[in-house]
A and B are shown apart, each in its own frame.
Chain A
Amino acid sequence: MKQFCLWLICLTLLSCHAAKDDLQLLQHVERFRLPNGMTFILLPKNGVPIFASHVRVKVGSMDESADEHGLAHLFEHMAYKGTVEIADFYNTLKTNGSVDANATTSYDFTNYKIMLPRNKLELWAYMESDRLKNGPVYDAFFTEVQVVLSERNKSVDNNPDGMMMEAFLDFAFENSPYKHHVIGSNAEIASLTPEKAKIFYNKFYTPSRMVVALVGDLDVNETKKIITKYFGEIPAKPNDYQKITPESYADFPKQKTITWPAADRFWLGYARSAFPNTDDTAFDFLSELLCKGENSFLHKKIVLEKKLAVSIHCRAAVPGGRLPSYFIVSGLPAKNIQNAQVVEAIRKELETLMHEGIPLTDIARYKAKLEADFIYSLESYSGMASKLSFYESFAGDWRDIYKFRSELLSVDSQTLQRVLKTYFIPTHEVVLMLQQEGVK
């Protein structure tokens, strides 16, 4: 689940731009590809003798077949169980000073991240390349199944937001691989086996699906040598697996109410295009303009003025971006207010924007915010590694940071109005409402 949020953060940044001077740091980026197809992005950042690495593998729950649901995530857990050569993978990293050693699986990607002191660079290369090349040992597979069931129990079965995500995806999608929750159902998780995991690993953990970003106190030439020495040994594998499942949008608009032992809440979704698309920047911009900050449009109208809700949130692409997804407006109704009242009020506000447009001053204000947010984000070693690997993996070239900057600069009221009129309409709409159990 964490990765999903990370993806959203990244996608938000797709619409961020920065003045040319502020992007100077990125002029030092080095990109190269090994003969086996694995891509590396290096960003030297002097100061503290540390580095951050993100290994982004283009495999998520959307790539799973029907009998593999939950496997991308379970495999990510197994990747810390050690290899034939390195028995205690996780503790070896920790003892050597790793922080933020974690991995996340989303609907689109699996991302292995870590930060280490600079003098552990070659250790990192040895360990990371070994697990990517040879895969994990599976001795503890069924114990880890129990751990993942425990994780699901916490993050979905006893978490109203996790439950809403699962219910929304199941209701909104018909055929799409996004229909099932990334963690899988209890039965699906319990049905996974080491044999399935090995097939999954061989199918998807191919060098050409992997992008590695390293940010930190790096000597580029030395780092390239180390990378070539260790990661160059990983054999190339075919990468011809392509899953195509056309989605059906019949019976729209769709609306459903479920009951659950938690306070009322709603998800209002609008079907949108997959990434990359010319409207991506507009969706990201709308997500900010409608919901982010005290003076954002929907927060101001629905929460502050009409007092219909206590909170409103927007997300530009749920649950991911590799396939068509949903723009989501979610929220919690105020006391004695029904979900349906809030949803109707939001529809009306969106219609107003469609017809009246968005004031230029608001657009300028959000451009300033997004520009600044991008510059602030450059401080984080791990954040930069995430961004670079994301752009490279998702868009095919990390330099699309510049492309999205120019697209953001061209966003205007007409573009936003067009996107609102194209997508934020009944034939794209799905509403899921949670009504508190036992309360009428």
Chain B
Amino acid sequence: MKPCFFIFFVVFLSAQMTAVWANPKIDELSNRQATTFYPPQVFEQTLDSGAKVYYVKDASLPVYEISAFVNVGRIHESEDSRGLTDLLTRLWPLGGTSNTEPDALIEKFDNFGAKVGADVSQEFLQLNLTTLAKYENETFALFFDLLQNPRFDDRKLQIFKSKVLSGMEMRNEKPIEVASREFPQMLLGEKNPIAWKSNADTIQSITRDLILNFYAEHVAPNQVTLVAKGPIEFLDFLQLCEKSMLSWSKPAVPRLPYPEFILPEMLPDKQWLQLPSTQSVVLMGHLSVPRDNPDKMKITVLNAILGYGVMGSRLGSRIRTELGLSYDVSSQVSNYATTGVFMISAVTAGEQVFAVLDEMQNVFKAFVENDDITEEEFGNTKNKILNQAIFQYEKSFDVAWQRFLFDSYGYEKGYLEKYYDTLKNMTLTEAKTVLKTYFHPEQLKILIVGDKSKVKDLSRLKEFKLRALDKE
């Protein structure tokens, strides 16, 4: 593969800064010439086994960081085994292999100072290793053994199940955790795999055989991508991987499709979830666009003006800085494969909940309807995003990971650079054309988690459907 060098966009940015600061000293110092930066090269290769590799060489430390991503995730769980991938990933690094008992394997990793872990996201399972280069042969062998021959020890599984069940008993202790769990269901529907939640019954029903079968069905070299950074040359790294995966001759398995689901209607709704507490959480939002929407960049900038980050945004400036009503208030947009979610959140004292709710709605409505975004506000937000872009390259592992993720999503080559280029050239007029297309104050679904006994104006409660928490 040919090296792909280019001059990073920061070089161009500094010449295009439009912000003019009231303080001339800040104006002068903000516009210093940016350094030319050449991002590290990401090497790609498909191994004989069918597994793909993304690698960045980084010799600054004698350390490897490697993750095996598998093309199956939380969204692929069946309805009656919700929580399976969570248990699988808890058990994976600690549950031994067919060659080594669980405790002996953990001890071996520990003896080399290696860290092994696993994770699950909506679309991927992930096994991770961080190891010192001087132990590469030993720790790679252990890591690939875990990838190819996981044991998912039953004794360990029972322990993890009891931990998960104990965690469920505590999951209504903090209002913010309740709200974060319940609101996606209100927005996306209870049967939507992005929003659904496990319960005691589904956890109890998960057995070692279920986990083994899930793994056998969905994990094979052709569905695995190794993403790594390390101190050696790419070809040497490939040899290490090939050597460790030689014995993995498992036939290819099909990639599961993204599940189809019916989204609820975008109709306004107000629900109150009763939780005895001096704190209330207000969440409001509506559906947004999937990740391949061509207007995603504009939506990102508009959301940043509205509420990205607690301080400095319109929501933060009004509700936290001016009024002191909330420590946490922000908005965010999440983009998935087939849909997206726009959400505004705030945490406040129980007696202030309606004051905060009204302010959130007022700020959002004015943002969409008043057509008052200034060139300065827009330019500052663009500059913030563009100036922060360099931090995408802080960790070399993340550079490789990002490339893998974009390829996996089907994005075009050079996606990130084009993304920032688009932003750099975007005008306020262009951004405003989509404001009313994607932000809808009239469609907000609102959830409050809090204690109605703390509310001052009880008549306001009539606006809400009152709900009780599910008992787990």
A residues sitting closer than 8 Å to B (CB atoms) are: 21-22, 25, 45, 47-50, 80, 85-87, 90-92, 94-99, 115, 117-120, 122-123, 126-127, 140, 142-151, 153-154, 157-160, 217, 261-263, 293-295, 303-304, 307, 310-311, 332, 334-335, 364-366, 368-373, 375-376, 378-379, 381
Contacts and interface: CB of A to CB of B under 8 A. Distances in A.
B374 interface: no
15 contacts: A49-B390, A80-B311, A117-B10, A119-B33, A148-B327, A150-B324, A150-B326, A150-B327, A154-B176, A158-B279, A293-B106, A310-B163, A364-B111, A373-B113, A376-B61
Contact of A372 (B21, B114, B169, B327): B114
B179 interface: no
B456 interface: no
A50 B106 contact: no
Contacts of B169: 263
* Chain B interface size, under 10 / 10 to 19 / 20 to 34 / 35 or more: 35 or more
Contacts of A332: 166, 170
B19 interface: yes
Interface in B374-388: 380, 383-384, 386-388
B130 interface: yes
Contacts of B35: 49, 117-119, 217
A85 B23 contact: yes
Nearest to B164: A310
Given A158-B279, A379-B61, A120 B326 contact: no
Contact of B21 (A21, A92, A261): A92
Contacts of B312: 90-91, 94
Which residue, B33, B94, B131, B391, has most C-beta atoms of chain A within 10 A? B391
A123 B384 CA distance: 15
B113 A371 contact: yes
B408 to A, nearest CB: 24
B173 interface: yes
Contact of B22 (A87, A142, A143): A87
Contacts of B390: 48-50, 97, 117
Contacts of B279: 153-154, 157-158
Contacts of B311: 80, 90-91
B449 to A, nearest CB: 11
Contact of A154 (B14, B29, B323, B347): B347
Give the dominant DSSP class at B's interface. Answer: mixed
Given A262-B170, A293-B110, A375 B29 contact: no
A91 B360 CA distance: 21
B35 to A, nearest CB: 4
B163 A147 contact: no
Nearest to B322: A143
A158 B350 CA distance: 11
Contacts of B321: 140, 143
Given A154-B327, A368-B110, A371-B113, A147 B320 contact: yes
B8 to A, nearest CB: 9
B111 A365 contact: yes
Interface string B100-143: 00010011001111110000000000000011100000000000
